[in-house]
Amino acid sequence: MREIYLYLLIIILISMTTIIIAEKPDAAKNIANALAETKVISKTSKYGVDYYEFNRKGKKYIVVAAVGHLFNLKQKGKGWEYPIFDVEWIPSYKARKLSMFSEKYFKTLEDLKNLGSEFIIACDYDNEGSLIGYNILRFIFNKENAKRMKFSTLAKPDLIKSYEEMSNKLDTENIEAGIARHFLDFYYGVNTSRALTLAIKKEANRFAMLSAGRVQGPTLTMLADKEAEIQRFKPKPYWQIELKLLINGKEVIALYEKEKVFDKKEADSVYKDSKGKDPVVKDVTKKEYVQAPPVPFNITSLQTEAYRLFGYSPKQTANIAQDLYTKAYISYPRTSSEKLPPSINNKEILMAISKIDKYKKICEKIIKGKVVPNEGKGNDPAHEAIHPTVEPPKRTLTGPGGKLYDLICRRYLSIFGEPGKRESMKITLLLGKNVFSVTGRRTIEKGWMEYYGPYAKYDEVIFPDLKAGDKLKMKKLEVLSKETSPPPRFSQASIIKEMDKRGLGTRATRAGILDTLYQRDYIVDKSIRVTELGMKIADTLKKYVPDLVDEKLTKKFDKDIENIITKKAKKEPILSKARTAVTKISDEFKKNESKIGKALSGAIENTQNEKVTLGTCSDCGGELKILFSPFSKKKFVGCTGYNKCKICGFSKKACKCKCTICGGIKGKCKCAWKEKIWNPSCQRGYPLPGFATFQKLGKICEKCKTPMIRVIRKGKRPFNMCLAIDCETKKDWGKPGEKKVVKKKAVKKK
């Protein structure tokens, strides 16, 4: 009888328990704290994952988190042929070695699956978040439907509102779009990577993991076209006549009316006619203009501005912004919107962030007037533009997170500001008959720029009031010899902006695509330079597999996915078209496999060699390279001059130099060491930090004269170092701080 009561009690408890699935651990904690009417009970699964229990209106709730995608696509069966389209969803920790950390979250969800009768998906409201929740629901909980919360911030008021207004069914269109995108990217990514890798393997008998995905290919081609334009550029010499004069005691530079003089004789003639004459003001032209407030950030403009101000890469900005979002400090960052609807209640946000001292006066000033934001054209049906929330950090944020939060707050405040007023003043000067000019600018009313603070561009060059006929004092006149410059390279920010303009990728994927191009050694440097390998990949694909780098085809598929969300298209016809396109691309690869392999093999070897070669050995002139030890399983720096004769350059066994003492071959002569002809190990072997990747900096340490490298470790700040362990720049490395001695209190025995 007791067993029956216990069974009935369990059934009743299950029937009253609702499981809420969040996308990330921080989000789960915020949701629990927001919705709970009683104390939140934090529990830890046997796998070490925290989840939360609370009661609301007499019902029990469990909030548990994923860590992004817990399921990924993988081909059915084995083999490395292509094309393959027979794929299935499997747990991420089984599909990818790098996703092993997700196993404990997967198993925690599995353990909880029998505890609930009702389910709520509370993942981010986009096609990725919707798919994450749906896959957990159907593959772990064996359910096809659930309730759906939609929110743009993890602040308490927004989460409560989202819960109270949640939908009784899933957002099917977002899910279908997410599935379609994953299948599309898998079809293209896996098949084209295999085709490239196999072409190299068969032709050059070497393994090199290459890739050229659906968006990656067109993006690389765009960069390669720019690189080719730069390489084709032939500079033309020109001359610039520069007048340095003093205005109010400050040096100002005025230029001859023809900024670029391509005839040297003309430049010399102007210089001769102008030298020794005092500049006289011919004309003063003033013009007032208005600078409208900026529009709110979307993810692209945030990435662009963070790169301009702080040098953060687009991926770094996206990661920092995501962290601020999961802490409930800002709204959902992966948005394309530039609008702030009235529903977000801007007055409440302004009152909340006014608690931060540096924003207090600005917020009070804005609240006194009309709180109407200046908005842009960009729209996003799922989320508004990026903005701070009603739950600002309780302590001052530091580091990259603090900088980005301040930038987002300042931008948000500035959109409520008045237009700024500026004035330009162009002064036209005469040196004899030759005309020179200089332009200055000044701010009349700061307006919104005052709110944007240190991030506003001023470029102030202020002149006194001058009038025609005023004489000024010349300081120096000179003719500068210059050359025309090639078109500028893309920066990490400008390429993201260009991808957005061309419709390549999505707001959530562009930073990752750019990062992949770096990882594959297709591009290098912040001012993006395409490597020899990157150029060869782009040229080869354009020549033999043009459909793979076709921007129009890529944009068409992205538009089709958007149409799924707006119910204008269905998933299956789109995937059918994708299979047809990938089959055609695969046929082109197979038809030209030998030509593709030949075209790429040399570039791969050169690029890989360039990547690991750090510089020249100061002892023997050999090359210092990053090598891998099969014994220690670690990377180190070794010299190609290891164990080579100083005279002939051959290794010990092949030395051709005759010994002056015994007449023998140096490889067999014992007295060779006495003659100091040999460099045993060249004294040039250097250990490298473990669990890191390395970038050469092209610089030499001033102290030890060894090459400088940049050390990059996951989750830690990169740092620069030279190779020599005993270099005086490292004299303070590894010195432990003073340890505090904690005296244990004596415990009295009872």
Provide the pLDDT for residue 507: 86
Residue 670 has pLDDT above 80, yes or no: no
Number of domains forming the structure of the chain: 6
**355-370: b (≥16 Cβ within 10 Å) or e:** ebeebeebbeebeeee
- 649 and 621 in a common domain: no
| Number of neighbouring beta carbons within 10 Å of residue 515 | 16
> 238, 325, 332, 522: which one is catalytic?
332
Which range among 36-45, 688-697, 713-722 has the greatest average pLDDT?
Answer: 36-45
- Given a contact cutoff of 8 angstroms between Cβ atoms, the answer to whether 81 and 34 are in contact is no
Whether residue 667 is predicted with pLDDT greater than 70 in this model: the reply is no
Dihedrals phi, psi of 94, to nearest 5 degrees: -90, -25
| Percentage of the chain exceeding pLDDT 70 | 89
191 and 330 inside one domain:
no
**Are 261 and 199 found together in one domain?**
no
Residue 98 confidence (pLDDT) above 90 = no
CATH number of domain containing 184: 1.10.460.10
Same domain, 55 and 186: no
* Last residue in a domain, options 607, 626, 653: 607
pLDDT of residue 740: 38
Q: Are residues 395 and 461 in the same domain?
A: no
Instruction: Tell me whether residue 594 is in a domain.
Output: yes
Q: Which of 467, 483, 499 is the last residue of a domain?
A: 483
**Shared domain check, 116 and 129:** yes
Residues near 237 by beta carbon (within 8 Å), at least 6 away in sequence: 262, 481, 482, 483
Looking at the structure, tell me whether residues 371 and 516 fall in a common domain. Answer: no
Q: What is the pLDDT of residue 3?
A: 63
pLDDT tens-digit map of 511-542: 999 999 998 889 988 899 999 999 999 999 99
Q: Is residue 451 part of a domain?
A: yes
Q: What is the mean pLDDT of residues 345-357?
A: 95
Query: Picking from 369-378, 453-462, 492-501, which range would have the lowest pLDDT averaged per residue?
Result: 453-462
Q: Which domain holds residue 662?
A: 643-678
Instruction: Evaluate whether residue 315 is within a structural domain.
Output: yes
CA distance 198 to 714: 30
Residue 175 inside a domain? The answer is no
- 718: which residues sit within 8 A by CB, 6+ positions away? 710, 711, 712
Question: For 194-252, how does the pLDDT look when each residue is reduced to its tens digit (9 = 90+)?
Answer: 999 999 888 877 777 788 889 999 999 999 999 999 999 999 999 999 999 888 778 88
Q: In the prediction, which pLDDT does 737 show?
A: 43
Q: CA-to-CA distance for 515 and 501, rounded, in angstroms?
A: 19
Do residues 18 and 159 both lie within one domain? yes
Report the C-alpha gap between 536 and 533 in whole angstroms. Answer: 5
Asked if residue 91 is part of any domain, the answer here is yes
% of residues, the chain, pLDDT over 90: 63
Do 569 and 595 fall into the same domain? Answer: yes
Residues 185 and 215 reside in one and the same domain: yes
The residue out of 372, 387, 414 marking a domain boundary is 414
- Is there a domain that residue 327 lies in? yes
Residue 718: asked if its preceding bond is cis (omega within 30°), the reply is: no
28 found inside a domain: yes
Has residue 741 got a pLDDT over 80? no
**737-749 average pLDDT score:** 39
Q: Determine the Cα–Cα distance for residues 636 and 151; give it in Å rounded to an integer.
A: 49
Amino acid at 25: P
705-715, pLDDT tens digit by residue?
889 998 888 76
* 367: CATH: 1.10.290.10
How many CA within 13 A on the CB side of residue 91? 14
CA gap 435, 418 in Å, rounded: 38
332 in active site? yes
Q: Which has the minimum average pLDDT: 44-53, 407-416, 670-679?
A: 670-679
Residue 734 lies in a domain: no
For residue 365, what are the contacts with CB-CB under 8 A and spacing of at least 6?
A: none
633 plus 647 within the same structural domain: no
Residues 6+ apart with CB under 8 A from 163: 34, 35, 149
Do residue 287 and residue 318 come from a single domain? Answer: no
Mean model confidence pLDDT for the chain: 87
How much is the pLDDT for 683?
A: 52
Task: Quote the pLDDT of residue 7.
Answer: 53
pLDDT of residue 715: 67
**Within 13 Å and on the Cβ side, how many CA atoms surround 472?**
33
* pLDDT recorded at residue 251: 86
